[in-house]
A and B are shown apart, each in its own frame.
Chain A
Amino acid sequence: MSKVATNPENLLARLKQAQDRLGYLPEECLAEVARSLNMPLSEVYGVATFYSFLSTRPLGRNVIRVCKSLPCYLKNSRMIVESIEDKLGIRPGGTTPDGRFSLALVNCIGACDIAPAMLINHDVHGDLTPRKISRILQSYE
């Protein structure tokens, strides 16, 4: 990536702040950040869509991020995803109609020792089994 005349560190921090405040990054917000950092919108959009913890679409109240990297995959993360899909009736990238959950697949979340693992909001859940999933999901309103 060529150097942009602004500090890319500011960009990420700004996007994270906005996401924490609004729950996602609507286009007007990206345009505003671009203007204030004097960067092209395309560059800001590029960064916002690169990171799986930033979202340009509205998300549910609770965001489930299931790890799809190899160690979790070998511990059958596919089964975890399927059981969440069954229970919530949504696919990765989707949000339940009541806005309670969004589901996403992400790369390694650094919890390989308790694979298969997932994050719900900021909580790590590991050694997952379909049985455990129901209980965990119930604890999020």
Chain B
Amino acid sequence: MDEIRVTIDGKQLSGHPGMTILELARENGIDIPTLCYRPELSLLGACRICVVEVEGSRTLVGSCHTPITPGMVIHTHSPKVLETRKVIVELLLASHCGACFMCDKANICELRQVAAELEVGLPRFEIKKRYYPIEDVSPYIERNLSKCVLCRRCVRACRQIAKRDLFAVAYRGFDAKVVVDSDRALDKEACRDCDICISFCPTGALSKPRKLSEEKKGKPLVITS
């Protein structure tokens, strides 16, 4: 197979046909932030955080799903790219619920990590927050969709890795939501307790229900004097 030569951030690099800009960049130690992308899942291009500048292209392109073509000249950290990424994260955070310091998953949250890396500060945009009550009917998954950023990683992971296909996105625009069946609370019949979607969720939207009594099973509190 022929090599494809491109320039990324001034470096001459070559990759094989079919490779995406992101893959080639990462292979060469150039870091581009991503959120909806996961190497194990199909390419989607939902979040736009991975945008880069390609000379001659009218708009910025999503590096996670754009294949390299011969002679491409790519800038992954130009001022325009950085400013755009920052606004994208700000917009995601603007409709994202509440404050990180109230969230169990704050310090393993990929959204927060990306925001920190891009030095996104206090929200500039005042828009409606997404609010959904917590769904905790299932003994296996607790869904707190107020924290969901619609990256669709759980949808793809359940379909492509767990081979169960429980989730899909319903409604449109601001109301878009990851649903089970016809927007029913997830029940145990459907889900087989694989935890795969939980491990794929970049935010605190999916977690294992915490069973405090089980954590202390067989260890009654004994007070000795």
Contact = CB atoms under 8 A, between A and B. Distances in A.
| A and B found bound together | yes
Interface of A: 1-3, 27, 30-31, 40-43, 45-46, 48-50, 56
Contacts of B171: 49-50
A45 B42 contact: no
B42 A42 contact: no
B18 to A, nearest CB: 17
B170 to A, nearest CB: 4
B183 interface: yes
B83 to A, nearest CB: 26
3 tightest Cβ-Cβ pairs between the two chains A and B = A42-B168, A46-B168, A46-B170
Contacts of A56: 182
Given A2-B44, A42-B182, 9 more contacts: A2-B155, A2-B160, A3-B42, A27-B182, A42-B170, A42-B179, A42-B180, A43-B168, A45-B181
Interface in B146-191: 155-156, 159-160, 165-172, 179-183
A14 to B, nearest CB: 16
Nearest to B155: A2
Contacts of A42: 165-168, 170, 179-182
Contacts of B169: 1, 46
A3 B44 CA distance: 11
Contacts of B160: 2
A56 B172 CA distance: 14
A8 to B, nearest CB: 12
Interface of B: 42, 44, 155-156, 159-160, 165-172, 179-183
Contacts of B42: 2-3
A45 B183 contact: yes
B182 A41 contact: yes
Given A2-B42, A27-B182, A30-B182, A45 B156 contact: no
A49 B165 contact: no
12 contacts: A2-B42, A2-B160, A3-B42, A30-B182, A40-B166, A41-B182, A42-B167, A43-B165, A45-B170, A45-B181, A46-B169, A49-B183
B170 A50 contact: yes
Nearest to A26: B182
B45 to A, nearest CB: 11
B170 A40 contact: no
B159 A45 contact: no
A47 B167 CA distance: 13
A24 B179 CA distance: 20
B172 A50 contact: yes
Contact of B179 (A1, A3, A31, A45): A45
Contacts of A45: 168, 170, 179, 181-183
Of A3, A46, A50, the most chain B CB neighbours within 10 A belong to A46
B183 to A, nearest CB: 7
B156 A41 contact: no
A113 B181 CA distance: 40
B159 to A, nearest CB: 6
Contacts of B165: 40, 42-43
B116 to A, nearest CB: 30
B154 to A, nearest CB: 11
Contacts of B155: 2
Contacts of B181: 41-42, 45
